[in-house]
Amino acid sequence: MKHKGLLIVISGFSGAGKGTLVKKLTGEYEDYALSISMTTRDPRPGEEHGREYFFAEKEEFEEKIAKDGFIEYAGYCGNYYGTPKDYVLSMLEQGKNVILEIEIQGAMKVKEKFPEAVLLFVMTPSVGELKSRLIGRGTESEEVILKRLSRAAEEAVGIEDYDYVIVNDDLDTCVKELHELMKKSCEGIQESHHPSHYKELIENCRAELNALAKGEK
């Protein structure tokens, strides 16, 4: 039987740097193909249709849902996001490792449909770091930042459902670490990055995010 590629799901809080991480990984190694999602959110300055996302109106998105054109889709902070099916399936068939950079609801749907998928959660070393990266990005209003932090608090509940946690402290180190982990994952799940090894960090993040979401910080 032809060896098919690995389906890799990468999630993480908004501002954890997953976008940059994934771009660098796919830029440095040829083994990966990045799925481009469709979204109904507005493009940020510098984003291009067909590069970061396929930007669509709500109607177009809903038509694609009706045609069963997504592997998964979800609502996130008032917008739809979904993974178009065709590209992912054809890349996997060609033996590429396909990366889906998606939020947690979508990740769980992928796990149901593709139990062999590898799920990875990217964290920052602290919540303070997360907040300053979100603000530093300068592309979101304060209201959106708060919405995203509150969504992060909800998502923090599901980290244990992922196969791996990876901490994005230094970008270059993280990219290398991620690549090594994916290489080894082809032979089976690697215990070293299991969420149970990051208990303290996860619990601290949860507590701080909950406080932020409640406006206590």
DSSP per residue, the chain: -PPPPPEEEEEE-TTSSHHHHHHHHHHH-TTEEEPPEEE-SPPPTT--BTTTEEE--HHHHHHHHHTT-EEEEEEETTEEEEEEHHHHHHHHHTTPEEEEE--HHHHHHHHHH-TT-EEEEEE-S-HHHHHHHHHHH--S-HHHHHHHHHHHHHHGGGGGGSSEEEE-SSHHHHHHHHHHHHHHHTTS--GGG-GGGGHHHHHHHHHHHHHHHTT--
In angstroms, give the least distance from the CB of 203 to ligand 5GP: 21
Residues 81-100 that bind ligand 5GP (CB under 6 A): 81-83
Q: Which residues pair with 8 in a beta bridge?
A: 99, 118
Q: 32 vs 76, which CB is nearer to ligand 5GP?
A: 76
Measured at CB, which residue is nearest to ligand 5GP? Answer: 106
Q: 112 vs 192, which CB is nearer to ligand 5GP?
A: 112
Distance CA 211, CA 131 (A): 13
In angstroms, give the least distance from the CB of 2 to ligand 5GP: 27
40 makes contact with ligand 5GP (CB under 6 A): no
Binding segment toward ligand 5GP, per CB under 6 A, in 77-85, 112-120, 128-136, 196-204: 77-85
Q: 37 vs 124, which CB is nearer to ligand 5GP?
A: 37
Residues 11-30 that bind ligand 5GP (CB under 6 A): 14
Binding segment toward ligand 5GP, per CB under 6 A, in 75-83, 118-126, 157-165, 191-199: 75-83
41 makes contact with ligand 5GP (CB under 6 A): yes
In angstroms, give the least distance from the CB of 185 to ligand 5GP: 20
Q: Which residues sit at the interface with ligand 5GP, rule CB under 6 A?
A: 14, 37, 41, 72-74, 76, 81-83, 101-103, 105-106
